[in-house]
Amino acid sequence: MSRRLLQLVIPVTPERRMFRIHDPTVDPDAPGGPLPPVGALISTNREQLWVGSLQEDIDVRLVLEEWDEAPPPCGDAWDEEAKGSIYLRGQLSISMGLAGTAVRGLRLAGGVGDYSLRVYAGNRDQVTRRYAQLFDRHRNPLSDEFQQEKKTLEGLERYLVQLWRESLATHSPRPAEPGWPDRGPGGYGPVDATWSAA
C-alpha cells in the first residue's frame, strides 16, 4: 500500500497565469524551458513542471505531496487531471516569477532521480467567473468592498501535485512527521526548506 511521505500546503501567487516547480539548480527563466501551459493544465521538460492557472491577481492553494509509490487516483474529487514526469536532484523549488519563490530547496525522501507526477486542479472556472462578477458590482477595484470580496476568493482555486520515485516502491522510507516549513511573517514569505521526510 502506498504511503504519503510529505505534505506541504501553501498559498501561491501565479505569474502570467502559471507557477513553476523545478529542480533548484535550474533557472526557470532561462532559455529552454517548457512552453507556457496555454489551454493546458501542465507543461513539462526534463527538470521543470509548469502548472497553468486561470488567475493572475488572486492567490491559489497548492498541496504538494511526495509518496513512496503511485498513490490511489483521486480524480473524481477534482475538475482536471494531468500526468507527467520530472528529474529532480533530491530537492525542488516552487517559483512564482516576479512574485518571488514560494518554496526553495524542499528536500525529498526519494533522493536523486526521475519522479512520476499527477496534477489535479479544482474551481478554476468558478473563481474566474466570480472575479469577473466583482467588476460588475463594484466600479472601483481599489474600494474596501471590492478588496474584501476579493479576499474570499483567495485559495479557492486549488491544486494537488503528487510525485513519487518508481524505484522506491520496494525501498519505502518511513513517513514524515506532520508539519510544514516556516513561511515567515504572514505565512506568505519564501520557504528555505531544509527539512526532510527521511
Cβ proximity of 182 and 191 under 8 Å: yes
Q: Check residue 76 and give its pLDDT.
A: 87
Confidence at residue 168, expressed as pLDDT on a 0 to 100 scale: 52
- 3-state SS class at 184: coil
Phi, psi of 87 (to 5 degrees): -100, 125
When mean pLDDT is compared across 37-46, 74-83, 178-187, the lowest value belongs to 178-187
Give yes or no for residue 175 having a pLDDT over 90: no
Domains and CATH numbers, the chain: 4-123+155-172+179-187 (2.60.34.30)
- Return the HEC string of 43-74: EECCCEEEEECCCCCCCEEEEEEEECCCCCCC
Q: What is the mean pLDDT of the chain?
A: 86
Burial of residue 126, with CB atoms counted within 10 A of its CB: 0-12 exposed, 13-18 middle, 19 or more buried: middle
**Which has the higher per-residue pLDDT, 140 or 66?**
66
- Give the confidence band of 193 by pLDDT, cuts at 50, 70, 90: very low
Question: Can you say how many angstroms the Cα of residue 46 is from the centroid of all Cα atoms in its chain?
Answer: 17
Mean pLDDT of 29-55: 93
Look at residue 75 in the predicted model and tell me its pLDDT.
78
91-119 tens-digit pLDDT: 999 999 988 999 999 999 999 999 999 99
Which pLDDT belongs to residue 166?
Answer: 78
Measured at the CA of 122, the angle between CA 149 and CA 90, to 5 degrees, comes to 115
Section 40-48 average pLDDT: 95
Decide if 22 contacts 28 (C-beta within 8 A): yes
Residue 24 and residue 91 in contact, taking contact as beta carbons nearer than 8 Å: yes
> CA dihedral in degrees (155, 151, 180, 22; nearest 10)?
50
Please tell me which residue, 175 or 194, carries the higher pLDDT value.
Answer: 175
